[in-house]
Amino acid sequence: MHSLRLIALAACAVLAVTACTSPESGAAGDIADPAEVTLGDTVVAFYLSPDTSVEKSSPEERPAYLVLVRADGGKQLIETSGMSEPHLAWSETGLFFSDDERDHILGNDGLVSFANEKAGHQQSAFALPGGQGFVAVYNEGFSESGYTNQVAVTTSTGSRLYQVEGNYFMNALCDGALHGIATEAGTHLADSAGIPGMRSKVDPTAQPELLSQLYPATEGREKVLAWRGAFNAGDHNRHVPCHDGVITFLSDYLDAEGTPHLTVVSWDTRDGEYTEQPLVDGQGRPVAEELVDPEVFSLKSYDARAVRDGHLEWLAADGRIMSTEIASGVTEPRFDTRSTSGSDSSSQAIFTDRSIHVVQETFDGVTPVRITRFDRATGDLVSEIAVPGLAEQFGLEFNVRGAAVPPTA
């Protein structure tokens, strides 16, 4: 049921934000001067990062770029030192992005950057409510204690960083509190030993899922909330919805007996209780029978704003927008975006209250990055933007990563 990710993660680079560009890129005309760049009339932003399979021979090679796209397809690029699998967050304050040396906020008044050295692999980024800043999670990796992540909080005055135990692949912002769902529990794993169902009978090395509050920190630490007997989960959307304290996400996993499940999960952060419903089509059949190809289910895309009217909406690998009723698991296709994900292309969906934006990259070195916007209520196509020249300028080893649109788009 699980499939390998077809797109490699972005490589970490070590350059600071700069107006310079690599000689081989041929993109000097698009590189913005950090002292002069503003958010301006940007309608879409995404991170362009080199593939992890591309090795850097010196610190001066392989930067990454934040790409700012206008409605007419024109673009500006901000060069950074890079971040593996970078993510963006956009609020009324501005656009947040980061690299392994600094955190950045780009607004209509310009770019503000704060020194903040951290791990080079990002898990998520969220805008805090009320313009209070941004919070992001980074993967520090295996440590003496087991496994650790880092949480960075960035405001208009600076950034601060602290460590949390566990590897929190999925994250959700619930009323200003950041929660994480970990598949590596770090030092907390021993605490689950006495809870029934928290050890796999077929894979002794598999760990159950852990739900913790990561921000605000509790006495400088994460707060463990609950455990779930899900093992070898094959899909992890980095940003998942939370409403009224309940986190909702799709889950492809094995239970303690080794039985596979494809479900929609509702996990209550207040009492730690969760419910889940099998994903079925309108006739009550498992979605993997006819509706969804289980081999590419992990290539789906949705984000923190994907819940609407009791349904979780998501972009399937074949380009269709699916709608899953959270209470029943019944899943039905809504409309076709014609933006697919597979061996030759990758698409990601960005949800707002009014729209669904889909960013598609085709791996042929020629086709422009395509950004389509759909009316969320009707499914009608609203606009389409082509961003040409990126593959020609940077090569196929650079890929589109985290993307964002204005919150009111």
DSSP letter, residue 32: P
> CA angle at residue 254 from 312 to 86, to 5 degrees?
55
Domain-by-domain residue ranges, the chain? Answer: 23-404
Interatomic CA distance for residues 157 and 194, integer angstroms: 44
User: DSSP secondary structure string, 138-174?
Assistant: EEEEEETTEEEEEEEEEETTEEEEEEEESEEEEEEEE
Enumerate residues 6+ apart whose C-beta is below 8 A from 58. Answer: none
**Under 8 Å between Cβ of 301 and 310:** no
Predicted confidence (pLDDT) per residue in 24-81, tens digit = 434 455 899 999 999 999 999 999 988 654 444 444 556 899 999 999 999 999 999 9
Predicted confidence (pLDDT) per residue in 171-195, tens digit = 999 999 999 999 999 999 999 999 9
Q: Which helix (H) or strand (E) segment is 350 a member of?
A: strand 345-351
> CA angle at residue 91 from 408 to 373, to 5 degrees?
35
Interatomic CA distance for residues 187 and 285, integer angstroms: 40
Interatomic CA distance for residues 230 and 207, integer angstroms: 8
Amino acid at 268: D
- For the chain, give the number of residues: 409
Number of H helices, E strands in the chain: 2, 28
The average pLDDT across 9-36 equals 50
Please report how many Cα atoms fall inside a 13 Å half-sphere around the Cα of residue 42, on the Cβ side. 27
* Percent helix / strand / coil, the chain, rounded to 5: 10, 50, 45
The average pLDDT across 303-329 equals 98
pLDDT band at 14 (very low <50, low <70, confident <90, very high): very low
pLDDT at 84: 86
Q: What is the mean pLDDT of the chain?
A: 90
Pick the CATH number of 23-404 from 3.40.50.12280, 3.40.250.10, 2.120.10.80, 3.40.50.10860: 2.120.10.80
Amino acid at 237: N
Least confident stretch, 9-23, 119-133, 175-189, 390-404: 9-23
Helix (H/G/I), strand (E/B), else coil: 77: strand
**Under 8 Å between Cβ of 27 and 19:** no
pLDDT at 2: 37
pLDDT at 52: 56
Q: What is the CA radius of gyration of the chain?
A: 20
Residue 142 has pLDDT above 70, yes or no: yes
pLDDT at 30: 87
Phi and psi, residue 130, nearest 5°: 70, 20
The average pLDDT across 316-343 equals 98
Distances (CA, A) of 364 to 30, 158, 343, 389, 390: 22, 41, 11, 12, 11
Show the tokens assigned to 6: 């077809």
pLDDT at 367: 94
Distances (CA, A) of 212 to 22, 134, 152, 247: 41, 19, 16, 12
Residue 134 has pLDDT above 60, yes or no: yes
Interatomic CA distance for residues 14 and 47, integer angstroms: 16
> CA angle at residue 238 from 262 to 139, to 5 degrees?
125
pLDDT at 228: 97
Share of the chain above pLDDT 90, in %: 83
If you search the block for the tokens 């304290």, which residue do you land on?
Answer: 245
Residue 196 has pLDDT above 70, yes or no: yes
Predicted confidence (pLDDT) per residue in 88-113, tens digit = 999 999 999 999 999 999 999 999 99
Show the tokens assigned to 351: 């949800």
Neighbours of 85 (CB within 10 A): 22
pLDDT at 144: 81
Q: What is the largest CA-CA distance in the chain?
A: 61
Distances (CA, A) of 31 to 10, 35, 322: 20, 12, 38
Interatomic CA distance for residues 196 and 190, integer angstroms: 13
